[in-house]
Amino acid sequence: MPKHINVALIGNPNTGKTSVFNALTGLNQKVGNYPGITVEKKEGLCKLPRGVKAHIIDLPGTYSLNASSLDENVVIELLLNKNDKDYPDVAVVVSDVENLKRNLLLYTQIKDLQIPTILVINMSDRMAYKGIHLDIPYLEEQLQTKIALISTRKGKGIDQLKTLIANFKELPTTPCLNASEIDPEYFTRLKKAFPNQLVYKLWLVITQDVNFGKIDRNEVDALQSFKTKSKADLKRLQQKETIKRYQFINDTLKKGQTIDLKSAKDLRIKLDRILTHKVWGYLIFFAILLVLFQAIYDWTEVPMDFIDSTFASLSEWTKNVLPEGAFTNLLAEGIIPGLGGIVIFIPQIAFLFLIISILEESGYMSRVVFLMDRIMRRFGLSGKSVVPLISGTACAIPAIMATRNIESWKERLITILVTPFTTCSARLPVYLIIISLVIPQGRVLGLSYQALTLMLLYLIGFGTAIFSAWILNKVLKIKSKSFFVVEMPNYKLPLVKNVALTVLEKTKSFVFGAGKIILAISIVLWFLASYGPSDDFNNAEEIVTTSYASENISSEELQQKIASHKLEHSFIGITGRAIEPAIRPLGYDWKIGIAIVSSFAAREVFVGTLATIYSVGSDEEETIKNRMAGEVNPILGGPLFNFASGISLLLFYAFAMQCMSTLAIVKRETNSWKWPMLQLVIMSAFAYIVALIAYQLLI
């Protein structure tokens, strides 16, 4: 028996495939992209009986092997290409006990590829509740496979599934039915022309644009002769194939499955009437958002204050314990404050992902997608555009990747262009720190002003995305038409393990992804802030001491003025002064300007940059928030971060394209620099103008 096998996890969307993947792999999993394309690839390791290790790849959800989008193409191309390193030794098809008939269509197609296949029937704990009974021996006989009846919620059947995977060589590879009967003459000619190839693989190559690594170029060219049928004829044959498969499935389930409708207790219809109602549905969703943003402030204040004070103490402790020198200053004034500027927001970001994950796991997010489709269609977007726009609250990069399942190029392009307006988690640190500084404490109807401000920023971002889509729909002269189909999964209690893994994965990705950038930028910024090219920097102590010789100031005040003079004449100070005239009308000083420029690498760097700049030369044990609150406007006097400049900054980050990674993904998805450059110029100009107007009106 091989000690390492490849397992492909395949299934329709919403069958619990991710739950099965998590149950098999636990924390031994990673997320990446397929080589050359931006479709998410999840893979993990699973230990099987007798020391066998399984490399499990969780393929994108698909309803059949008749692909209509790029992510579905990924499934077909892997199953057709035996030369692929991930080609499965065994396929595990995950089905839902309540939708077995529909799920079995994909299963019968995979069986025709003669890959050892296991059928997993998930959510078995709902069988009694739904009045479902299955004759497993009969189904195994008719479907030519072994069946694992599991419940990831109850943790049942996973060990049986692992045993079946380990013994995959005992599985029959014979198809369930003869699909060639839809046109015997055509398929007979096809088989004679390519006697060494599976007829069904050839059929998939003929009807779809997929790669088939097993066939060389000459054979692929030879297959063109079998495209003598028109597209309409080939489509009719595909429909006949689907009908034939469902006839087989119906005949099988007549004996293998019984459903006692009287015992089926279903609240789904009643809940859907409320949650998807044209009035109550929106009010409920709005109420959930209010609770979410209020909870972000109320429930995370204590851990955030603890993290903030801990990093301030750690920075001070480093200065006191380690010997004086450049390395100590780099740690205390550069790296520690920079990292503190991102770690402080872990509680709020993790909480945001927690709530979103619970809403997705419960089945509610599909209802939100359905609700929002009613709005989307009026603005030239597909209902499928809601998925990227909502997932954009986590990060715009995977959200833009998610547009791959939008068939219409125009709708997909518009979605790609407007998604960055959606408030992502990288903006959250900027919003939170500025809101805490400029929005006063207080409540209305039990909701704090700060929570309402945060929610308003999310709504502004989403509203701007929708309005921009409407404009683009009018401007872009691209003809296209598409249809929106969404599946409403059953309501269910979220699995704690799934939610925990999602929160851990997303938070870890955010922290380590941002952490690498912040660490590098913190080191560069510290160097630029700690050294200068002129005598004004090198002789700062002598210059400042002479200037204040006639004044009676304490040694601490003198040291602060020396540090301030050095910072102003350092490399970073000179750079900041150069760009200050452009940002002064927005209410920003040169330090904020440096933070804005550096945050182009990643928005969340803004806070870390200010933390680093304010820490250079500072001997006081102060938190990031206190340092920012203590900054004085050099021209107008009073706090630099006041209501006018704070609102200006919030609006600037709400609209600006401050993320080079997003620009890179847009270029890759559109295969052109035209669209990301237009995004950068238009969004930045719009952000500047809005921020300028806001500051000038509020000052």
Q: Which token pair is 2?
A: 């091989």
Find the CATH number of the domain harbouring 59: 3.40.50.300
Which helix or strand (DSSP H or E) is residue 329 part of?
Answer: helix 326-329
Identify the residue whose tokens are 């999993």.
29
Q: Are strands 4-11 and 53-58 parallel, antiparallel or unpaired?
A: parallel
Given this model, what pLDDT does residue 455 score?
A: 87
In a domain, 121, yes or no: yes
In a domain, 503, yes or no: no
In a domain, 424, yes or no: no
User: Which amino acid belongs to residue 442?
Assistant: G
Task: Give the chain's domain count.
Answer: 1
Given this model, what pLDDT does residue 37 score?
A: 38
Question: Is 0.85 topped by the overall pTM?
Answer: no
In a domain, 230, yes or no: yes
In a domain, 394, yes or no: no
In a domain, 131, yes or no: yes
What's the domain range around 164? 4-260
- Gap between the Cα atoms of 425 and 429, Å rounded: 8
Given this model, what pLDDT does residue 1 score?
A: 55
In a domain, 604, yes or no: no
Identify the residue whose tokens are 């044990």.
621
Given this model, what pLDDT does residue 109 score?
A: 93
Given this model, what pLDDT does residue 30 score?
A: 56
Which helix or strand (DSSP H or E) is residue 182 part of?
Answer: none
Q: How many CB atoms lie within 10 A of CB 479?
A: 7
The dihedral sign for the CA sequence 455, 493, 268, 483 = positive
Identify the residue whose tokens are 């052109």.
672
Chunked into runs of 10 residues, the chain (699 residues) has average pLDDT values of 83 84 76 43 84 88 78 82 88 90 92 93 80 90 92 86 91 89 85 83 76 50 60 83 92 87 61 85 84 73 81 84 84 77 74 79 80 76 73 72 73 89 82 88 83 89 90 80 62 80 76 68 76 84 81 74 78 85 89 82 72 60 69 75 92 87 80 89 94 92
In a domain, 57, yes or no: yes
- Gap between the Cα atoms of 602 and 660, Å rounded: 7
